[in-house]
Structure 1
Amino acid sequence: MSKSGPIILFEDDHDDRSFMEKIFTELEIDNERVYLKNAAEALEYLGNTKKSLFLIFCDVNLPGMNGLELKRKIDNDPHLRLKSIPFVFYSTSIRQDQLIEAYAELTVQGFFKKENDLNETKSTVSTIIDYWKLCRHPNK
């Protein structure tokens, strides 16, 4: 993890992408943002990039393979798992069974609800980014 590395967002909704980009811009977060729309694209990017990534934001509801299935694939791939990229779910869909699966079976570091309110979203994203900027990481 590089604190100045790219932030990866697995998000298939164009409006949500635009909204998140507005948030990052207003928070003056300088990290490059990489938006990926589905699990196949995500796995290809993660497997091939030489960049040290900062953080992954993942929607649960992705076309084809959902975010939980994607995280399971990442966890089961020794190469991707070794990268130890902080992974948080950021989704409109939050069901109890998803929370249990994310925390009990997968190695997620957070599960957050997408809000439509600009200020609430800015506060949540800022908190997540600030937390990970302070954290120590095995892959400096």
Structure 2
Amino acid sequence: MSLRGPIISIEDDADDQYLLKSVLDEMKIPNTVHFFNNGLEALQYLEVTTEQPFLILCDINMPIMNGLELRQRIDSEEYLKRKSIPFVFLSTSGSPKLVEEAYASTIQGYYQKASGFDAFRQQIELIVEYWKSCLHPNNFTVSSK
């Protein structure tokens, strides 16, 4: 994790991407945001980037590769696992079964997307501020491939 690194958003809904971008802009978050429509696109980026992302915000239900599959792949690849990128699910689904499945992996949070701009903004502020304040191994060193 790098406080200046990009925020990775894996979200297949264009409206939700726009909402997140609007919230981050309003919050004046300086981090670049990279949007991906599914887990496979994000995985391909993460496997080759030399950037140390600040945070991954991931939907759970997506085509091609869903959020759970992406998390499993990150955990199974030593290079990505060593990066220790904070991984938070942000999904419209609050199904107890999905929440349980998600926490069986090594995620750092699961949020059901709030409805309404102000409530969603509060969620994003909470997540971002937490990770900005949190001590993390990658605040001190950046993993190399």
TM over 0.5: yes
CA displacement, residues 46-76 of structure 1 (integer Å, 9 cap, x when unaligned) = 0101011100000001112211111111111
Residues in 1 aligned to 2:60 and 2:10: alpha-carbon distance in whole angstroms: 9
| Amino acid aligned to 2:113 | K
Q: Residues of 1 paired with 2:95 and 2:118: CA distance?
A: 24
User: Over the residues paired in the alignment, what is the CA RMSD in angstroms?
Assistant: 0.8
Superposition pairs for residues 1-140 of structure 1, below 5 Å?
A: 1-103=1-103, 105-140=104-139
Name structure 1 gaps, 5 residues minimum. none
Give the residue type in structure 1 aligned to 2:63: P
Number of aligned positions between the proteins: 139
Unaligned runs of 5+ in 2: 140-145
Q: Which runs of 4+ in 1 moved over 6 A?
A: none
1:1-36 Cα distance to aligned partner (Å, 9 max, x none): 111110000011111111111111111111100001
By how many angstroms is 1:120 displaced? 0.4
TM-superposed deviation, 1:116: 2.5
2:142 match:
none
Aligned counterparts of 2:132 and 2:87: Cα–Cα separation in 1: 14
Identity %: 45
TM-score, L = length of structure 2: 0.93
Task: Give 1:102's aligned amino acid.
Answer: A
